[in-house]
């Protein structure tokens, strides 16, 4: 998803070293690719191309563009821009080589050839002609190269492994063997149908993901990001927990529209770390909290990251139902963070944090509160009956229109409408327009999602191979056999598979891969499809804070000056309580209440009392785990009390009356032991603070 620029806000007490910010931005580039920065006519050309791409997709959202046209044109734009914006190697950075132009032209030619072929082209997918095969192989090669340039080498290698699996089926050992497919047949599926590269993933990328990145860019360039941070500072500052609460609230407001964990971590960290350090957070704990807040960006409405759109498409449900399913898990995630922050205040002996507020909550809301309207409007339009595509389109229009309520947030400078542009416009209306926030937002909306779209195209190859070979059914049978038919063991093995896959590839790709190879195992054992897919989604997201590719904690550590791996462990401490929740909604039907039964229709027929009970049980389990992992409840815990809280937390998130009774009993005993025990001098002593460098 699109990355907002790192712009420290008014609440910074002391400047963060530029070197740390630049280092942190390297982690964004590790996730989203290291794009060229071009000046002159090349820069204008690429800006214009990205603008046209955004304009095309906004038009496609409002009017009807045939699927057979929309998806190939989307992939053509993505591959052409990826070839021109992302260098083949670091030594070619900030310039476009002749082979980049050739690859971009080839991407366009592939799309033109497909569209001109019409229905005849699609009909001959089982027996493609030589030119079909040539262009199809070129497309596969460009997709692999596009992924390599934008996300690194891992995803192309995995995709090639799946292609090799499709070709080498007869020579593989049982149970992996299959009849095998020739190159022509493989190309026919991948290039000439809507099942391979142009399949579900690209469908979602071309119709929803890009619209949300454009929407996020409009919010950012209209000043919404700075408002959300300033609002959080003003609302949460001044109390012992104010610094931590500010990070939690700001990460939700800032990350929700972008859906990018790393970008949210870096943007917020540049502003909030000095405040966290002043409040008493040591470097690694501060980085862990920032990374955990960034992770919330991927699981929080209204965007939920790119994978959420894929959930709706795979399950053939409305995006509003996906948002509905995410409400309680998101609330539990932020409950865990807020509890951790409350415990931090006692653990580190924090006093009231004093820092210069940007303004009062009332004044900020009075002047810039219209930015909240943009967030609310998406859900409002969907509840009004609009499709998700039209909802985000009109929400973008709302953002554009409301930006003109204030001169300093307008996406077009007021000077543009005067007879003469200002000196800053260098006397050229064209240059003035090209430098306007509106054009930058349109450009950023397309460029910000190139890595996601390239990954979706590669994932389409993987899905096509799995569909052709029946790998998903084979894999699920193997997992169930290893688990001995146990649902608990199957869920654990599935979580491990998703986690391991997620260590190597982005969240979107890991969800797609595991949705087709791992979800069937859970569904075979009676887990509803919506619960299985949400289970996989949450564990795919967990990989964002898991080494060796824990980009969010590593980026946070670059800002705080902490140790990357210690920061990663701290981020796990903040996030693990909430990530045990998925087991609740796959191990027992009652746990599906945490997903509000998967749809508005099922929710209307559900028992409200059972949903409230399972939510309260989950909240209590999260609180117990927070106390256990932090080593603090009413006061600092003993080793026995800490163990009791952790065991109680695990018991409470395991559905079943016996487990719940054990969990509640252990919590009650541990709290009673703390209440009756006199706090020692050592327990009253706050943990040592670490000064800012």
pLDDT of residue 327 exceeding 80, the answer is: yes
Among 211, 50, 189, 73, smallest CA distance to 128 is for 189
Residues 6+ apart with CB under 8 A from 242: 236, 279, 352, 353
Q: Who wins on pLDDT, 475 or 643?
A: 643
Q: Where are the strands (E) in 376-490, listed by range?
A: none
pTM of the model: 0.78
User: What local confidence, expressed as pLDDT, does residue 414 receive?
Assistant: 55
pLDDT tens, position by position, 212-255: 889 888 988 888 878 887 887 777 765 666 777 888 888 777 76
Confidence of residue 510 (pLDDT cuts 50, 70, 90): confident
Start-to-end CA distance of the chain, whole Å, equals 32
Q: Provide mean pLDDT across the span 307-317.
A: 82
Q: Provide mean pLDDT across the span 666-679.
A: 85
Residue 636 DSSP SS3: strand
pLDDT of residue 284 exceeding 60, the answer is: yes
pLDDT tens, position by position, 378-409: 888 888 888 888 988 999 999 999 999 888 88
Residues 6+ apart with CB under 8 A from 644: 628, 666, 667, 669, 670
Q: Where are the strands (E) in 104-199, listed by range?
A: none
CA distance 269 to 433: 32
pLDDT of residue 48 exceeding 80, the answer is: yes
Q: Who wins on pLDDT, 18 or 196?
A: 196
Ranges 17-31, 420-434, 435-449, most confident = 435-449
User: What local confidence, expressed as pLDDT, does residue 217 receive?
Assistant: 87
Please report which helix (H) or strand (E) contains residue 469, including its range.
helix 450-469
Confidence of residue 6 (pLDDT cuts 50, 70, 90): very low
pLDDT of residue 674 exceeding 60, the answer is: yes
Among 371, 381, 215, smallest CA distance to 303 is for 215
Instruction: Please check whether residue 582 is in contact with residue 538, taking contact to mean a CB–CB distance below 8 angstroms.
Output: yes
pLDDT of residue 501 exceeding 50, the answer is: yes
CA dihedral 401, 406, 408, 410 (to 10 degrees): 20
Determine which of 190-194, 264-268, 428-432, 619-623 has the lowest per-residue pLDDT on average. 428-432
User: What local confidence, expressed as pLDDT, does residue 656 receive?
Assistant: 79
User: What local confidence, expressed as pLDDT, does residue 195 receive?
Assistant: 85
The radius of gyration computed from the CA coordinates of the chain, to the nearest angstrom, equals 26
User: What local confidence, expressed as pLDDT, does residue 8 receive?
Assistant: 37
C-beta neighbour count of 479 within 10 angstroms: 21
Please report which helix (H) or strand (E) contains residue 138, including its range.
helix 130-151
Instruction: Please check whether residue 333 is in contact with residue 296, taking contact to mean a CB–CB distance below 8 angstroms.
Output: yes
Confidence of residue 682 (pLDDT cuts 50, 70, 90): very low
Confidence of residue 354 (pLDDT cuts 50, 70, 90): low
Q: Is the peptide bond before 647 cis (omega within 30 degrees of 0)?
A: no
pLDDT of residue 355 exceeding 90, the answer is: no
Q: Who wins on pLDDT, 30 or 514?
A: 514
pLDDT of residue 431 exceeding 70, the answer is: no
User: What percent of the chain has a predicted confidence (pLDDT) above 70?
Assistant: 83
Confidence of residue 670 (pLDDT cuts 50, 70, 90): very high
Among 410, 432, 412, smallest CA distance to 420 is for 432
User: What local confidence, expressed as pLDDT, does residue 331 receive?
Assistant: 87
User: What local confidence, expressed as pLDDT, does residue 691 receive?
Assistant: 38
User: What local confidence, expressed as pLDDT, does residue 298 receive?
Assistant: 77
Chain mean pLDDT for the chain: 81
């Amino acid at each position: 998803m699109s990355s907002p620029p790192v712009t420290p806000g008014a609440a910074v007490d002391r400047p963060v070293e530029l070197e740390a910010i630049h280092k942190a931005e390297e982690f964004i580039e590790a996730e989203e690719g290291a794009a060229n920065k071009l000046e002159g006519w090349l820069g204008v050309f690429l800006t214009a191309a990205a603008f046209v791409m955004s304009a095309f997709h906004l038009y496609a959202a409002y009017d009807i563009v045939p699927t057979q046209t929309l998806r190939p044109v989307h992939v053509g734009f993505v591959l052409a821009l990826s070839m021109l914006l992302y260098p083949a190697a670091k030594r070619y950075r900030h310039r476009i080589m002749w082979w980049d132009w050739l690859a971009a032209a080839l991407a366009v030619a592939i799309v033109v050839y497909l569209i001109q072929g019409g229905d005849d082209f699609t009909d001959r997918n089982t027996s493609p002609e030589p030119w079909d095969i040539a262009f199809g192989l070129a497309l596969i090669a460009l997709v692999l190269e596009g992924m390599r340039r934008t996300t690194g080498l891992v995803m192309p290698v995995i995709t090639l492994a799946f292609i090799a699996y499709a070709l080498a089926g007869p020579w593989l050992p049982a149970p992996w063997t299959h009849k095998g497919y020739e190159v022509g047949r493989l190309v026919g599926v991948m290039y000439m149908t809507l099942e391979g590269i142009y399949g579900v993933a690209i469908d979602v990328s071309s119709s929803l993901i890009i619209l949300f990145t454009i929407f996020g860019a409009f919010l950012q360039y209209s000043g919404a990001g700075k408002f959300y941070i300033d609002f959080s500072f003003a609302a949460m500052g001044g109390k012992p927990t104010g610094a931590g609460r500010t990070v939690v609230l700001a990460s939700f407001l800032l990350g929700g529209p972008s859906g990018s964990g790393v970008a949210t971590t870096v943007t917020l960290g540049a502003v909030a770390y000095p405040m966290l350090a002043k409040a008493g957070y040591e470097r690694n704990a501060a980085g862990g909290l920032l990374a955990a807040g960034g992770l919330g960006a991927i699981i929080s409405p209204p965007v939920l990251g790119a994978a959420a759109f894929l959930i709706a498409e795979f399950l053939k449900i409305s995006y509003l139902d996906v948002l509905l399913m995410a409400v309680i898990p998101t609330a539990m995630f932020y409950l865990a963070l807020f509890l951790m922050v409350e415990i931090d205040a006692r653990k580190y002996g924090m006093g009231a944090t004093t820092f210069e507020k940007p303004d009062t909550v009332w004044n900020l809301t009075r002047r810039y509160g219209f930015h909240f309207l943009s967030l609310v409007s998406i859900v409002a339009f969907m509840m009004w009956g609009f499709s998700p595509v039209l909802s985000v389109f009109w929400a973008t229009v709302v953002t554009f229109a409301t930006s003109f309520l204030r001169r300093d947030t307008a996406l077009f400078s007021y000077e543009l409408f005067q007879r003469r542009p200002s000196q800053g416009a260098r006397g050229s209306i064209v240059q003035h327009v090209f430098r306007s926030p509106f054009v930058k937002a349109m450009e950023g909306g397309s460029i910000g999602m190139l890595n996601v779209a390239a990954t979706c195209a590669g994932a389409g190859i993987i899905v096509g191979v799995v569909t052709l070979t029946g790998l998903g059914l084979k894999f699920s049978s193997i997992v169930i056999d290893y688990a001995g038919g146990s649902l608990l063991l199957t869920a654990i093995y599935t979580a491990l598979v998703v986690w391991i896959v997620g260590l190597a590839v982005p969240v979107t790709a890991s969800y797609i891969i595991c949705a087709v190879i791992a979800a069937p195992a859970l569904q075979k054992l009676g887990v509803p499809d919506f619960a299985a897919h949400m289970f996989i989604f949450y564990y795919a997201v967990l990989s964002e804070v898991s080494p060796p590719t824990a980009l969010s904690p590593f980026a946070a550590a670059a800002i705080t000056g902490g140790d990357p791996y210690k920061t990663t462990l701290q981020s796990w401490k903040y996030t693990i309580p909430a990530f045990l929740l998925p087991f609740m909604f796959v191990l027992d039907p009652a746990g599906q209440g945490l997903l509000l039964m998967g749809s508005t229709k099922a929710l209307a027929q559900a028992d409200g009392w059972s949903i409230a009970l399972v939510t309260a049980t989950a909240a209590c389990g999260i609180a117990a785990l927070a106390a256990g992992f932090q080593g603090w409840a009413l006061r600092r815990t003993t080793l026995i009390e800490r163990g009791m809280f952790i065991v109680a937390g695990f018991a409470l998130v395991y559905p079943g009356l016996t487990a719940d009774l054990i969990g509640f009993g252990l919590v009650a005993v541990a709290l009673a032991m703390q209440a009756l025990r006199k706090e020692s001098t050592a327990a009253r002593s706050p943990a040592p603070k670490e000064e800012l460098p």
